[in-house]
């Protein structure tokens, strides 16, 4: 029903790589590339196991999946967020603080994830940890969320 609260799942394929300077870089993949790379790694691992070869740390799966849960923004949510993000420019014309809008929208809609700490314990999906995510990971998640919620032109023409 149209008034039912909806939640959607957004998955993101990524890989952690250590740079020559010792910094951990997060590389985000498209769904297609991420699935393909993950399947290739799983096949390589299965082939090694089947042949009885020793499996080294380098053979372990490096492509990971971040699974997130999102609330679909309601009209009331949208109105509240937009109202809190209004500002006036020096000419007195009403404008929107887009950075604040995007941040509030993210924190209102992202409601869960499968991120764990080094001990395997769940890390709660709260503002403190959302703010700690790399910016390009957040941008990729928001893009995927928007694609799922808003659809695209190709889907619209089918309907």
Q: What is the pLDDT of residues 66-103, one digit of tens each?
A: 999 999 999 999 999 999 999 988 888 989 999 999 99
pTM, rounded to two decimals = 0.81
Q: Has residue 59 got a pLDDT over 80?
A: no
Rounded to whole angstroms, the Cα distance separating 50 from 39 reads 16
Q: Residue 8: phi, psi to the nearest 5? A: -125, 160
Eight-class DSSP state of 23: -
Strand, coil or helix: 124: coil
Residue 157: band (very low, low, confident or very high) from pLDDT cuts 50, 70, 90: low
Helix (H) or strand (E) holding 95: strand 94-96
Do 115 and 132 touch, CB atoms closer than 8 A?
no
Beta bridge partners of 29: 13
Residue 150: band (very low, low, confident or very high) from pLDDT cuts 50, 70, 90: confident
Eight-class DSSP state of 57: G
Q: What are the residues whose beta carbons fall under 8 Å from the beta carbon of 157, sequence distance 6 or more? A: none
What is the pLDDT at residue 22?
Answer: 87
Residue 60: band (very low, low, confident or very high) from pLDDT cuts 50, 70, 90: confident
Rounded to whole angstroms, the Cα distance separating 99 from 32 reads 30
Helix (H) or strand (E) holding 130: helix 127-130
């Amino acid at each position: 029903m149209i008034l039912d609260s909806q939640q959607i799942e957004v998955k993101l394929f990524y890989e952690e790589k250590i740079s020559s300077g010792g910094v951990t870089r997060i590389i985000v993949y498209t769904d297609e590339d991420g699935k393909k790379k993950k399947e290739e790694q799983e096949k390589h691992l299965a082939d090694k196991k089947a042949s009885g070869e020793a499996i080294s740390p380098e053979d372990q799966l490096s492509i990971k999946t971040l699974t997130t849960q999102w609330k679909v923004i309601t009209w009331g949510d949208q109105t509240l967020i937009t109202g809190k993000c209004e500002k006036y420019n020096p000419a007195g014309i009403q404008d929107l603080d887009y950075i604040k809008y995007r941040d509030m929208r993210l924190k209102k809609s992202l409601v869960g994830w499968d991120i764990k700490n080094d001990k395997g314990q769940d890390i709660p999906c709260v503002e403190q940890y959302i703010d700690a995510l790399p910016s390009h990971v957040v941008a990729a998640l928001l893009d995927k969320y928007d694609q799922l919620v808003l659809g695209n032109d190709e889907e619209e023409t089918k309907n």
